[in-house]
Amino acid sequence: MNFGARKRRTAAATKAAGLDGILITHLPDVRYLCGFTGSNAALAMAGGTAVLFTDGRYTAQAKAEAVGTRVVIANKPVVAAACEWLVEKSVKRCGFDALHTTVAALESMHKAVPTKVRRGMFVASEPVVARLREVKDVDEISKIRKTASLGGQLFDGMLEYLRPGLKEMEVAAELEYRARLAGAEAMSFETIVASGERSALPHGRASLAKLPKRGFVTMDFGVVLDGYMSDMTRTVHLGRAVNGEQDVYHAVLEAQVAAVAAVAPGVTAGEVDEAARSVLRRAGLDTFFTHSTGHGVGLEIHEGPRLAAKQTQPLKAGMVITIEPGVYIPGRFGLRIEDMVLVTPAGGEVLTPSVKAWIEL
C-alpha cells in the first residue's frame, strides 16, 4: 500500500494551498489516505502527523486497516474530536471539504474550538485529496484493472441470458447476482437496463418493462472490488434491426473510438469530448448526444476529471476515465458505449475487455 506516500503528497498539497492543517471527512478520501473503510471517521493532518478519529464500533477494524496511522477512538462526534486535536497542534488555517461538509458538521467544528482561535481557522479549500486521487498510483491501477475486467466478463456472460420477454428488472437481478457470486462487494451504482423505447433514456434504471422482440437493450453497470469501481455500458440489439439502428450504432461506436484515440497526457478533457462530439456532428446526431463524454472513476463512480465540452483540464498519465458517448432519439431508441480507459504516457489504454462491435441476439 502507498498510504505513506499518499499522506506525504496530501501534506505537501495542503502546505501549497497556504494551510497548516487539513480535516478530511469524506469517507473515500479517508480510505484513500489510511485504508480505513468504516462508516464514521475523520482524518486530521498537521505538522507531519495524521490521526484517524472513529468510534468504539470500529476499534478492532481501525487497528487492522489503518496500519501506520494513529487511531483515536473518540467518545464524542469524530469531527469535534479531530478539531480539538487540530487546536492542540496549534493549527491556524485548516482546510476542510466544502463539497461534503454539512452545515451541521461545520457548526460542530466551530463549537469544538475555542472562540479566540475560531476566526479564520476553517477554510473551504480547494479539494486537495480529490485532486490527488485523480491520478492513480500503481496499486490502484492494478485494482482498477481487476474490477474493469470483472465487469467485462459479467457482461459477456449475460449475452447468453438476454432474450425478449425478460423484465429489465430480471436482467439487472441476474447480473447483480452473478456479480456477487464472482466476488463483487457491491454494484458501483443502480444498474441501468433500458430496452426498446426506454433505451432513449440515458439513465433508464431497470424497470418492469419487458425486453422487446426487436430493439436495443442498453446495460450500464459497475462492480466494486476492493473499494474500486468499474463502469461500462454496452448496447445490444434483439432481433433484426430495420429502422436505421445499425447506422446510429456505428456512428456512436466511431465517436467512442475517436475519443479513446484522442486520449493522451497533455490533451485537455474538452478535446477528448470534442473528438467524440465532432463525429456525431458530422453524422447529424450531435443534438441527441445530451451528456458529457466521460468522467474519472476509482474509489467513487464519478471523480475528476470531467470530460465535457470546453473543459481545459489536461489529462495526466495515471488517470482512469470513462469514454461514453451516446445518442438518444426520444420516442424511438437510444444507445451508449462506455469503456474505462487508463491514460498512459503512450495514449489511452482501454481496460474494459468486452467487444464493441454490433451485436444482434
Footprint of Zn ion on this chain (CB under 5 A)? 220, 231, 233, 322, 338
Write the burial class of residue 323 (CB in 10 Å: 0-12 exposed, 13-18 middle, 19+ buried): buried
Q: Distances in Å between the alpha carbon of 202 and those of 144, 325, 349?
A: 25, 10, 25
Q: Distances in Å between the alpha carbon of 31 and those of 27, 62, 73, 267?
A: 6, 11, 17, 30
Cell, residue 104: 451541521
3-state secondary structure of 229: strand
Is the Cβ of residue 231 or residue 274 nearer to Zn ion in the bound state?
231
Is the Cβ of residue 168 or residue 231 nearer to Zn ion in the bound state?
231
CB of 306 to Zn ion, least distance (A): 11
**What residues have CB less than 8 Å from 289, skipping those under 6 apart?**
255, 276, 277, 280, 325, 326, 327, 328
CB of 340 to Zn ion, least distance (A): 9
CB of 109 to Zn ion, least distance (A): 33
Q: Tell me the residue type at 239.
A: G
Q: Distances in Å between the alpha carbon of 129 and those of 61, 194, 226, 244?
A: 23, 35, 19, 46
Is the Cβ of residue 57 or residue 291 nearer to Zn ion in the bound state?
291
Is the Cβ of residue 109 or residue 229 nearer to Zn ion in the bound state?
229
Asked if 338 and 323 touch (Cβ cutoff 8 Å), the reply is yes
CB of 53 to Zn ion, least distance (A): 33
Strand-pair category, 94-96 with 70-73: unpaired
| Torsions phi, psi for 301 (to 5 deg) | -75, -35
The two counts, helices (H) then strands (E), for the chain are 11, 19
Is the Cβ of residue 145 or residue 234 nearer to Zn ion in the bound state?
234
H/E segment holding residue 31: helix 27-34
Is the Cβ of residue 140 or residue 339 nearer to Zn ion in the bound state?
339
CB of 220 to Zn ion, least distance (A): 4
CB of 258 to Zn ion, least distance (A): 18
Is the Cβ of residue 140 or residue 231 nearer to Zn ion in the bound state?
231
CA–CA separation, 232 and 283 (whole Å): 24
CB of 339 to Zn ion, least distance (A): 10
CB of 233 to Zn ion, least distance (A): 5
CB of 297 to Zn ion, least distance (A): 7
Is the Cβ of residue 37 or residue 218 nearer to Zn ion in the bound state?
218
The secondary structure of residue 197, as a DSSP letter, is: G
Is the Cβ of residue 211 or residue 223 nearer to Zn ion in the bound state?
223
Report the b/e string of 20-43 with b at 16+ CB within 10 A: bbbbbbbbbbbbbbbbbbbebbbb
Q: At what angle do helices 27-34 and 3-16 cross, to 10 degrees?
A: 120
